Amino acid sequence: MEAELKSLRIDRTARNTPAPSKWATRWIVFGVILFVLLGAARFAYEKLNAAPVVQVQRIKPATTPSASGGSVMLPLKLTNLKKQERLDHAATALKLVGLGDRMSHFPRQLSGGQEQRVAIARAIVTDPALILADEPTGNLDAGSAQEILTILSRLNKEFGKTIVMVTHDPHAAQFATHIRHLEKGELLAEGAVPA
């Protein structure tokens, strides 16, 4: 699996995106959250090496035979990869989330959990260092939610991805290594619980 993830690596040196300092990283994290909320995926990809996974992820309706694969390839349109390379990256990302056999399925042929796994594949297809997950299990049944949390946990532990997950679900929060609570617009210190 590690070799498959390495095959997703994209050379970003041509875009002059040097690694940020520790101070800048704090502002970058804040900026990532802000820009993802505003829907500026291009900025997140090009400047911050981040990718969003949102709660209600609907796959773009496609008229082509590779519906799921086409949805996963969308972020790759921001790169200089050729079409076949984009297809290969999409196939690898779908395989990593257990949907390698669903490359040509249309949205109506996928369950809610499978659609969310397509969303995760779309997020990891560019091999980002940071994945921002906004309620990734919010609309899923318990079994599908467990699968999504397992995939995110595996991305963190096996592939070194940083996952920032926003959730109201205490079960989902148990998968985190660090938990911060938000109360009345204020981010509490780690370990502090809202009153």
List the domain boundaries for the chain.
2-10+47-187
The CATH code that applies to domain 2-10+47-187 is 3.40.50.300
* pLDDT recorded at residue 56: 55
Residue-level pLDDT at 65: 35
pLDDT at 29: 66
DSSP, collapsed to helix, strand or coil, labels residue 83 as helix
How many CA atoms lie within 13 Å of 31's alpha carbon, on the beta-carbon side?
A: 16
| Distances, alpha carbon 157 to alpha carbons 83, 176, 178, in Å | 31, 11, 14
Contacts of 110 (CB under 8 A, 6+ apart): 59, 68, 102, 118
pTM of the model: 0.69
The rounded distance, in Å, linking the Cα atoms of 124 and 98 is 13
Residue with tokens 């699996």: 1
> If you ran DSSP here, which 8-state letter would residue 135 be given?
S
Strands (E), 82-168: 130-134, 162-166
Q: CB burial class (10 A; 0-12, 13-18, 19+) of residue 36?
A: buried
Per-residue pLDDT of the chain (195 residues; tens, 9 = 90+): 566 666 665 554 444 445 555 555 666 666 666 555 555 555 555 556 777 786 655 555 543 434 556 778 888 877 788 989 988 998 998 888 888 888 888 777 888 888 888 888 888 888 888 888 888 888 788 888 898 899 889 989 998 999 988 888 888 888 888 888 888 888 888 888 887
Residues 66 and 85: their CA atoms lie apart, in Å, by 14
Question: Which residues have a Cβ under 8 Å from the Cβ of 195 and sit 6 or more positions away?
Answer: 183
